[in-house]
Amino acid sequence: MSSVDTPAYSLTRPKNTPLDPPPLYSRLRDENPITQVTIWDGRHSAWLVTRWEDARAVLGNPAFSSDQSHSGFPSQRPDMPPLAHGFFANYDPPIHTTMRSTLTREFMIKRIGALRPGIASTTTRLLDEMTRSERSADLVERFTLPLPSLVICDLLGVPYEDHEYFQKRSRVFVDAHATGEQFTQAWEELNAYLADLLTAKRGNPGDDVLSRLTEHVDAGTVTERDASDLAVFLLFAGHETTANMLALSTVALLRDPAQIPRLLAGPTEAANAVEELLRYLSIVHGGLRRYALEDVTIGGVTISAGEGVIVPVHVANRDPESFTDPDSLDLGRDNARRHVAFGYGIHQCLGQPLARAELQIALPELFRRLPGLRLAVPFEDIAFKENTFVYGVDELPVVW
């Protein structure tokens, strides 16, 4: 393929099928599953790995680095600062291993299980408040954004009153139009905010992740700067992703209401429904970025040392070789859980037990409480996010 033919990696979804990946990528996956794409307005190129099996082969291979300080790393922005200012997911072992070890206990399934009653009561409270005197609302403002924000604040020990401050800055991290400078500014502001909170926790510890992070600093496992960087990452990743997943799941279910009974059939069915929604929607659609440290052959194609790789999990999760009739939402699908919506390998989403708990509680409760829930505007008029690395909607007008 000549450079003239090389397509650009694009976040733009088709207007008529906004819940599907761009058709070009599905075609590439079928015809040319490992191929070059351009990024940074054509100034750089990287391999696009579109099949599910090849995606796992890349993400599970330590020869592919996440460290953005390699010259030629296919980062999301051309002027991304090295290591993207402590963006935890961009570290390689052994630093990554040490940093992740400070948090693994916090996100263990058992620990997250203990949060379920609190998540359920917050869900009930938000739905009570939303429905008390109204029959319509913006579901993003009233439910899908506040719920994960409240939950992550509680877990970390961050005051929810500051939500506008951290939500606004978190949005910069996923905005494809934001410059490296704007990214750095948002990161440093949030870092200073969390560093102050960590200092306050040291004098007055609580039963929260930030207080326990100060213990890791005292034990010398991580530096103070590492701790505040980790805290920024958790605060951001803990609400921005799940909020979009809750809103887009609601859109997908309202478009295909015959599926809703499966979500409401019981905890096992709800858990499977959530896996299928994760697969089908795959909201982290900016492509997971890697850099080859040595020559590696994947799916018959040799990726040379120094070349970049982009793994679009939303395309891999629609691979017909791994999922039957992949473009259909099927809440009863028996292998939905094999999706790579949380990534794969050492960087696989640390917060997935938390995300799953929130989705498994909030989605059935929303549809149980509001059996008449429907979109307040035609599906075609919903404004899907454009140019964000995490897909979603900014607002979701609904009536019930």
Strand 288-292 relative to strand 308-311, pairing: antiparallel
Residues 89, 176, 375, 399: which binds ligand HEM (CB under 6 A)?
89
- Token representation of residue 333: 């699908």
User: Quick one: which segment of 123-131, 163-171, 221-229, 280-288 binds ligand HEM (CB under 6 A)?
Assistant: 280-288
Query: Distance (Å, rounded) from C-alpha 336 to C-alpha 316?
Result: 13
Asked if residues 111 and 209 have their Cβ atoms less than 8 Å apart, the reply is no
Asked if residues 226 and 99 have their Cβ atoms less than 8 Å apart, the reply is yes
Residues 242, 250, 322, 360: which binds ligand HEM (CB under 6 A)?
242
**239 torsion bin: left (phi>0), alpha (psi -120 to 50), beta (else):** alpha
User: Quick one: which segment of 116-124, 200-208, 241-249, 300-308 binds ligand HEM (CB under 6 A)?
Assistant: 241-249
Asked if residues 87 and 389 have their Cβ atoms less than 8 Å apart, the reply is no
Residues 351, 364, 385, 389: which binds ligand HEM (CB under 6 A)?
351
* Closest distance to ligand HEM from the beta carbon of 3 (Å): 27
Residues 6+ apart with CB under 8 A from 380: none
Nearest to 30 by CA among 326, 257, 351, 241: 326
Residues 283, 292, 366, 393: which binds ligand HEM (CB under 6 A)?
283
- Token representation of residue 224: 């103070």
| Residue 212 contacts ligand HEM per CB under 6 A | no
**Of all helices (H) and strands (E), which one includes residue 261?**
helix 260-263
Contact letters (x/-) for ligand HEM, 62-81, by CB under 6 A? ----x---------------
Given the complex with ligand HEM, which of 26 and 149 has the nearer CB atom? 149
User: Quick one: which segment of 71-79, 134-142, 195-203, 282-290 binds ligand HEM (CB under 6 A)?
Assistant: 282-290
| Residue 190 contacts ligand HEM per CB under 6 A | no
- Token representation of residue 273: 């429904």
Q: Which residues contact ligand HEM by CB under 6 A?
A: 66, 88-89, 100, 233-234, 237-238, 241-242, 245, 283-284, 288, 341-343, 347, 349-351, 354-355
